Amino acid sequence: MKTPFLFKNANVFFRVLVLSVFVINFIRCTPPPPETPVDNSYKKKLITHREAQVLFDEYTKTNNRILTASRNGQPDSRWYSFTIEEMEGYIKYVKENAKKQNLKNVGIKIYMGKYPANHPVNKMAKPEYAGYQTIFLMPTAKKERSSDVNMKSRGTTSDENEKIESIQPMNMTNLSPPPNHVSANTLN
C-alpha cells in the first residue's frame, strides 16, 4: 500500500504551518513606526476669536473698503479655505520634495493674488471666481548664501526664506465671492 504524499511530508507540512503562524503573528503584532512629533511652536502664534475679529474688522474698514470702491461697489472675496486633508497632503508633498533636494528651513508663504476675468476655468475651484482675489501657497526654504557677511554689512539680511522654484505652489481654494449681508462683517 502506498503512503499518500501528504503523510510522507507531514513533518515538512507541520514545520511550514508553524513557521507561517509565527510569521503572521509577528507581522500583525509589530507596532507601527512612531509618528514624528509635531513642533508646538505654533502655540505661541495662536490668537483668540476676539483678536481674529479685530483683524477682520480692520481689514473691512481699510483694505476691503478700497477694493469694494475699485470694483464699483461690488465686494471682493473675504475668506479662503482648504480642507485639512488638502493642507496635510500639500505639506507632505512639500516636505518630501524638499527632502529629496536637501533643502533646509522649509516653509510655506501665503500670497495674495487675483484671478483675471478670463482665467481658465480648470485653474479655479469654481468658474464664478474669475475676477476675485485669491490666495496661493508658495513653498519656501532658507537659501544658502556665501555672501551673508557682505549682506549684513550693507544692512540687509537673508532671514527671509525664498520660494522654491522646483516645487509647485497650490491654489484652487474655496472662497467667498462676495460676502453676503450676514457674513460681511463677522467671521464665519
Task: pLDDT band for 52, please (50, 70, 90 cuts).
Answer: very high
The alpha-carbon radius of gyration of the chain (Å, integer) is: 28
Residue 138: count other Cβ atoms within 10 Å of its Cβ: 20
Q: Tens of pLDDT along 57-88? A: 999 999 999 998 999 888 889 899 999 999 99
Task: pLDDT band for 164, please (50, 70, 90 cuts).
Answer: very high
* CA 170, chain centre distance (Å): 8
Annotated domain spans of the chain: 79-149+159-175
> With the C-alpha atoms ordered 3, 8, 13, 18, is the resulting torsion angle positive or negative?
positive
Long-range residue pairs from 165-170, CB within 8 A, at least 24 positions apart, any chain: 166/97, 166/101, 167/93, 167/94, 167/97, 167/98, 167/139, 168/139, 169/111, 169/136, 169/137, 169/138, 169/139, 170/82, 170/86, 170/90, 170/136, 170/137
> In the numeric block, which cell numbers belong to residue 22?
509565527
Q: Does residue 7 have a pLDDT over 90?
A: no
pLDDT at 153: 46
pLDDT at 91: 96
Q: pTM, whole model, 2 decimals?
A: 0.69
> Cα-flanking dihedrals φ and ψ of residue 130, to 5°?
-55, 135
